Amino acid sequence: MNNDQDKVNKIKRELAKLRQFRNRCYVCHVSWHKRGMTFHHIKYHKNENTHSDFVNGYVGTLQYYEYLKPIIKKNPKRFAYLCNSHHQTVTKLLQFNHDKQDRIFKLVRKSR
Ligand SMILES: [Zn+2]
């Protein structure tokens, strides 16, 4: 594993221990996933950087997490800790408006 990636994971594991995150994915409760873990922004603030504002690769990801760390520490309630699999699911569902989300959940609950 690359050194920058190690540093990113160290930051994530440290932040995951904040009370708010209970050291586990909000959805499936795993504490670590082979595909990685991430902090989902429940609410972005105006003028705040996103991951895409940083360069591609581990260097950019490390810079992003160094940027994000104090923001998460200051206000963990603005974030959810998720495995990448469930972060992908949440991100996908966010593409739809509330009515469509409701209909999707209704259908999912009815389906066997
Ligand atoms: Zn999960």
Is residue 111 one of the residues assigned to a domain? Answer: no
Is residue 70 one of the residues assigned to a domain? Answer: yes
Distance 33 CA to ligand 1 centre (A): 8
Is residue 95 one of the residues assigned to a domain? Answer: no
Closest among 59, 71, 52, 69 to 5, alpha carbons compared: 59
Distance 85 CA to ligand 1 centre (A): 6
Distance 83 CA to ligand 1 centre (A): 4
Per-residue confidence in pLDDT tens, the chain, 112 aa = 689 999 999 999 999 999 999 999 999 999 999 999 999 999 888 899 999 999 999 999 999 999 999 999 999 999 999 999 999 999 999 999 999 999 999 999 999 8
Is residue 44 one of the residues assigned to a domain? Answer: yes
Query: The whole model's pTM is what?
Result: 0.90
- Total number of domains in the chain: 1
Is residue 29 one of the residues assigned to a domain? Answer: yes
Distance 3 CA to ligand 1 centre (A): 25
Residue span of the structural domain in which 52 resides: 3-84
Is residue 68 one of the residues assigned to a domain? Answer: yes
Rounded-to-integer distance, Cα 45 and Cα 24, Å: 24
Is residue 21 one of the residues assigned to a domain? Answer: yes
Task: Identify any residues that bridge with 82 across adjacent strands, giving them in sequence order.
Answer: 38
Distance 30 CA to ligand 1 centre (A): 6
